[in-house]
Amino acid sequence: MALPYLLIRDLHIACVTLSITLFVLRGGCGLGGVDWRRRWPVLRWLPHLNDSLLLAAGLTLMVASGQYPGPAQPWLAAKLLLLLVYVGAGRQALRPGQPRGRAAAWCLLALDTVGSMVALAVTRWGS
């Protein structure tokens, strides 16, 4: 593999790690009753910046490797579908003013979904 590909892959992995960490931090604060939106404004915009970089790195890897979602790469198609579930569940989990039990359930679904995405990426199951 060429050096730029490996650098982009490492950037992608670092962004995944930061994305999960920021989600756990925001979700944990929300469940703990901490108003993170006011206390730490950086937590309002940093996840969006990081996730944009994560998506750009992922798309770059997809094009560079010639692996596209579909029958030849079902793991990638599943990963992209799970991304939509993760975004939706994460949005619900972090929505202010909802009961703690409901927020916790959405957090667990989001974390389970992102865990499945990581497992698919590591194993490339179905290829």
- Per-domain residue ranges of the chain: 3-123
Helices (DSSP H) in 40-99: which residue ranges?
Answer: 42-65, 74-93
Which residue type sits at 33?
G
Q: What whole-number distance in Å separates Cα of residue 34 and Cα of residue 39?
A: 8
Q: Would you give the DSSP letter of residue 71?
A: T
Q: Quick: pLDDT tens for 57-83.
A: 999 999 999 999 999 999 999 999 999
Distance, CA of 42 to CA of 31 (rounded, Å)? 19
- Give residues with Cβ within 8 angstroms of 103, minimum separation 6: 27, 30, 31, 92, 93, 94, 95
Q: Are 12 and 57 in contact, with CB atoms under 8 Å apart?
A: yes
Average pLDDT score over residue span 50-60: 97
Which 3 state secondary structure label does DSSP give 67?
coil
> What local confidence, expressed as pLDDT, does residue 76 receive?
95
> For 84-115, what is each residue's pLDDT tens digit?
999 999 999 999 999 999 999 999 999 999 99
Residue 51 has a CB neighbour count (10 Å cut-off) of 19
- pLDDT reading at 127 higher than 80: no
Is the CB of residue 89 less than 8 Å from the CB of residue 113? yes
pLDDT tens, position by position, 31-47: 999 999 999 999 999 99
Q: Which two tokens stand for residue 76?
A: 């990638």
* pLDDT for the residue 1: 62
What does pLDDT average to over the chain? 95
- What pLDDT is recorded for position 40? 97
3-state SS class at 70: strand
pLDDT reading at 3 higher than 80: no
Q: What is the reported pTM? A: 0.93
Q: Is the pLDDT of residue 18 over 70?
A: yes
